[in-house]
Amino acid sequence: MQQLTILELLQTKPSPIEINLSGWVRAFRSNRFIALNDGSTIKNMQCVVDFENLDEAILKKITVGAALKVTGILVESKGHGQTVEIQVSKVDILGEADPEEVKLTILSPKRHSLEKLREQAHLRIRTNTFSAIMRVRSKLSFAVHEYFQKNGFNYMHTPIITGSDAEGAGEMFRVSALDPKNPPLDENGNIDYKQDFFEKETNLTVSGQLEGETYAMGLGKIYTFGPTFRAENSNTSRHLAEFWMIEPEVAFLDLDGNMDLAEDFIKYVVDYALKNCKDDLEFLENRLLQEEKSKPQVERSDMALREKLTFIGENTFKRVSYTEAIDILRNCKPNKKKKFKYLINEWGADLQSEHERFLVEKHFKCPVILFDYPANIKAFYMRLNDDGKTVRAMDVLFPGIGEIVGGAQREERYDVLLQKMRDLEIDEEELWWYLDLRKFGTAVHSGFGLGFERLVQFVTGMGNIRDVIPYPRYPGSASF
């Protein structure tokens, strides 16, 4: 007997052949109509039981949240909202759900806040909102790999445990096997990491970029797609302590080519979602429209979700130098009227999310790529321009999010990189291998990093990044 998913059944014509369907009860009406969902689609399958001929003990166990297997035939539906339904001949209870306990969880029919859903993250995937988000996340993950594989990139697994700080910010999670209550000390009274597992101080990675560069200089084009960690105490809707990062690195590619790559990549994965997540995006769009009804008109989006995603694919990203952006921001109304939290007074300011979103949402009204940033606000590995004060960096800015991609042409010149590291007091001995790369066939190369959760957040329209990853990690929260 066939065991099919709801997604498959909705594309199947009615047939007298008996089938099996397993899923979880979303609703049970009039002792007759079971709304069953198996996670394959946002849509439920209506299963019609003959309650007069069904064991009363089984009927009592058909409750919201219970897992069932129904056997029956697929027939044309007489009701609204579905084309087919199952005429049930047999019901097997696979797992019961006590109605009284269900009332205390997010499985109960009443509407719950996103904050409440986070408290029961092990169950929130059973809700329409989170099943839709996570199916979109899955499709986007596939699209990431498909894009790079189609374009000749090699997938590289960079280390999770590392002795280097790629960002130079020092906000890293330490990895140690030493006894935290009684660690060995050296002659100066400091923790003696030579007695630790790796015989040196190690951390969870903040980026696979530096290692990715080494492989790009041998394989030509590589990408990483893995977990990264930041011990940054940012309790915001845009930050996570654990998140997934997409990082391509390409040999013989300059900044212009890097910007082309980022734009082409983003358009590809967004288009893939539009084509392959139609039902889920329709649901998420309607959810967003309902949510925005409670907001003042000025805070509502100019475009519906799918319209905004289509807009990304159909429009060229505006490319603007940092210097030009600073002039725009310095002279804009929010800055002159002191509406910005961080006022822009001079060249060299580190742009904040409010500035990035103004450029995208109010000024240019399209995605923006900023390039040629001041060297002193960017990382040491970015290529210094001939002016001696800017670097070949670029950020892609999106509506509703701000920065979604950060990248650069890497500094390939040994002497320039060495001097930058010394100026910033970066340990040359720790990164000897990174410097060494510049001694053996050095060449122009570039890459970027895209926080996957910010991409998922943009595509799903969710306002908080904690709602687009299965189990969010942020300050004060490592539950589940």
- Work out the pLDDT band at 106, boundaries 50, 70, 90: very high
Q: pLDDT tens-digit profile of 249-278?
A: 999 999 999 999 999 999 999 999 999 999
Mean pLDDT of 7-32: 94
- pLDDT over 60 (residue 363): yes
| CA–CA dist 73, 86 (Å, integer) | 6
Residue pair 411/382 in contact by the 8 Å Cβ criterion: yes
Q: pLDDT tens-digit profile of 394-403?
A: 999 998 888 9
Q: Which domains does the chain have, with CATH numbers?
A: 2-104 (2.40.50.140), 128-171+206-467 (3.30.930.10)
- What does the block give as tokens for 463? 């306002």
Query: Considering the entire predicted model, what is its pTM?
Result: 0.94
Q: What percent of the chain lies above the pLDDT cut of 70?
A: 99
